Amino acid sequence: MAKIPTSRVDKLLSSMGYGSRSEMVHMAKAGGITLDGAELSDVSKRIPVTRDLPARIQIDGEPLDPVVGMVILLNKPLGMTCSHKEAGALVYDILPQRWKRRDPAISTIGRLDKQTSGLLLLTDDGDLLHRVISPRRHVKKTYRAKLARPLGGTEGDLFASGQLMLEGEDKPLAPAELEVVSDTEALLSVTEGRYHQVRRMFAATGNHVEDLHRERLGGLSLPDGLAPGQWKLLSEDEIALIFQ
């Protein structure tokens, strides 16, 4: 069985963005940190870093944030960028501010364009991130595309052929599945994550994507009640759905 890692409380809280280690000492002295209901004055205490810590530790009366290994599902709104450093509105601005100071950092699992909405995952778990984006895993990403012009009727066969070469590339796209919803709307499922892939696929057929929204990632769907800009933490079972 894997050994459970331990950490000093001040180091753990600091790595979770609550403040510097000396600030944690002051916070504890002021009675702001409790462990299992009792005030914790000695933040040099080592504790096992387990997923149940938010139920055991309170900071200023609030449950501790999730420990490392969290996966966030965000309904990405239009107009926000999946970047840590670009100018303008960033998807990270939606999350609690102190999460920007977490170490390991929270990153998006792949990216959606600024003008693409829908299911976006973020995590501080580097191994999980690489498993989801690895082309070898073939995790299917399903997009709803609204098009400027009616579909011609041959797009499904072309996308499924494994022969479509995007402009400026030297390797054809892996086969993708098209489900026609109406003349100007379709669901497209791809297993790769090339730059602007869906928009460029339709552009290769002489069409133009006016509206792009990601609905599914593997077996995970965007929950109905999650409005644009809202997010939730995924359970272990929900994380497992990604690979189904």
Catalytic residues: 113
115-134 residues near ligand URA, rule: CB under 6 A: 116
Contacts of 209 (CB under 8 A, 6+ apart): 145, 146, 147, 148, 198, 199, 202, 203
* Closer CB to ligand URA, 67 or 209, in the complex: 209
* Closer CB to ligand URA, 34 or 107, in the complex: 107
Q: Which two tokens stand for residue 127?
A: 């191994």
215-244 residues near ligand URA, rule: CB under 6 A: none
Question: What are the CA-CA distances from residue 164 to residues 12, 133, 152, 196, 224 (Å)?
Answer: 49, 21, 16, 15, 34
Closest CB 199 distance from ligand URA, rounded Å: 4
* Closer CB to ligand URA, 99 or 143, in the complex: 143
138-167 residues near ligand URA, rule: CB under 6 A: none
Query: Which of the ranges 129-137, 191-199, 220-228, 234-242 carries the binding residues for ligand URA, by CB under 6 A?
Result: 191-199
Total interface residues for ligand URA by CB under 6 A: 8
Residues in contact with ligand URA, shown as a per-residue x/- string from 73 to 112 under the rule CB under 6 A: ---------------------------------------x
117: β partners: 213
Contacts of 176 (CB under 8 A, 6+ apart): 159, 160, 188, 189, 190, 191, 201
Distance CA 155, CA 162 (A): 12
Distance CA 244, CA 239 (A): 10
193-212 residues near ligand URA, rule: CB under 6 A: 196-199, 212
Is 100 within 8 Å of 17 (Cβ atoms)?
yes
Binding site for ligand URA (CB under 6 A): 112-113, 116, 196-199, 212
